[in-house]
Structure 1
């Protein structure tokens, strides 16, 4: 699976009311909104040069996935609608997609943004079962960074103890589009 691919990824262009779009801090992978970027984008919106934002529709709600700065810029210039690319997806799909949204493009991610993405995956009961390599791939960081952050969060009890127990034995690795369980219980242990 590609970093930003979706199951049943069907994109459709549509103008949506800003008020119809769900803006969730859980989906926003950035640590904060940059006011200067919002101002720059507001000028581009007024010139008609802004790319559409990306939203996922779960059948009931439209979740903003990529374009939080553009969304804020549209509000700043008092627009009531914004151009969107819409795909089918749940809020969880939106969270996972948003973590990788600015790896290769857009406003450059700060270290705090990268950490936020990794922590989001590590604090989730399902995603935390993924290997350090898979989490690193999804977040656009090194696997050693994920390993160090995982250990730090476990030591400070910021990761749920039930998750820690399950992680101590099994994780999930991905190869050729398939999932494989891996036993990590002996990693770091010396043979005696």
Structure 2
């Protein structure tokens, strides 16, 4: 989708008569905001080019600018044309109106997700979410509500790759890969198992916590297939990094026991002179302290990430998670060599 938007931005700018353009199909349920139109009309600078679907002459991006041009009494406006079909034009309209200018309201984005799910049923929840600026979970809830009948068995991910909806086999393979090679990056595991990096991360976390690789919902769906396999083959919970054969343990903690308070652990580390009185130790403590926020504080941060920043923030979070994962592996390896 980003490629389509970038390609459209490279189209030549032409002057088009206002009377030939249509405002039908706006993703804004309540229409454009009059105060924003007046603000644009009062500005002395030329209006930036709008994006128009060539086949229908419908405005894709620039509804406020078009109305501002009419308010100014102008006869023409600068236009870049888009040559895809109606469904692609709507997707582009939503994408552009989420990421810049006056952002779409949450209700607009949810309604847009409904329409995109209907026109692109093969798209994954994450791909729809990346266009509409809402969470993949919300997209999944919308899909359950509006989709009737059988769904495609394979969906197109945000990266354009085809992946099965039931990723049980991919999760199992990812678990086996991580057991054999704990140092593999998430991208390497995802590529080899045919799953997304995010799913690979979930598999790795489940291994560390001694949990089943398959979420309960997915496990129920694949129960029949699991019965035909060797006992335990769908429930890999062993990781060399966390104690070898037998039930996996996270940091030596028995399954079911609550995780120790992170803030308390960091506070204990801060009292260690080996960390307090070295520059690298203080840097490490500062980094660890950043992650001691309570769940409620994390939830507040997540719910207040601006929609137009969500892709960048999510990508950075994944990159930082990969760095921490590599850090953990290397710390373990260094300790093993010392021992």
TM-score normalised per structure 1: 0.76
Higher relative contact order (CA closer than 8 Å, sequence separation 6+): 1
User: What pairs with 1:1-192 in structure 2 (closer than 5 Å)?
Assistant: 1-2=1-2, 4-5=4-5, 11-25=11-25, 28-31=26-29, 32-44=31-43, 47-58=44-55, 61-124=56-119, 127-151=120-144, 153-154=145-146, 159=147, 164-167=148-151, 170-174=153-157, 176-178=159-161, 180-184=162-166, 188-189=217-218, 190=220, 191=223
What's the CA shift for 1:183? Answer: 3.3
> How much is the aligned-residue C-alpha RMSD, in angstroms?
2.7
**CA gap 1:67/1:150 in 2 versus in 1, 3 angstroms:** same
Where structure 1 has 5 or more consecutive residues not aligned to the other structure, the ranges are none
Give the whole-Å Cα distance in 1 for the aligned partners of 2:82 and 2:65. Answer: 18
**CA gap 1:176/1:170 in 2 versus in 1, 3 angstroms:** same
SS of 2:149 mapped into structure 1:
helix
What's the CA shift for 1:64? Answer: 1.1
SS of 2:5 mapped into structure 1:
coil
Which structure: greater helix fraction? 2
Give the whole-Å Cα distance in 2 for the aligned partners of 1:16 and 1:75. Answer: 13
Count how many residue pairs are aligned between Structure 1 and Structure 2: 173
**CA gap 1:112/1:165 in 2 versus in 1, 3 angstroms:** same
What's the CA shift for 1:15? Answer: 0.7
Which structure: greater strand fraction? 1
TM-score normalised per structure 2: 0.46
Q: Which moved more, 1:80-89 or 1:28-37?
A: 80-89
What's the CA shift for 1:34? Answer: 0.9
What's the CA shift for 1:78? Answer: 2.3
**CA gap 1:171/1:99 in 2 versus in 1, 3 angstroms:** farther
Give the whole-Å Cα distance in 2 for the aligned partners of 1:165 and 1:84. Answer: 41
What's the CA shift for 1:77? Answer: 2.4
What's the CA shift for 1:6? Answer: 7.0
Deviation track 1:46-77 (CA, whole Å, cap 9, x = no partner) reads x134211111313xx42311001111111222
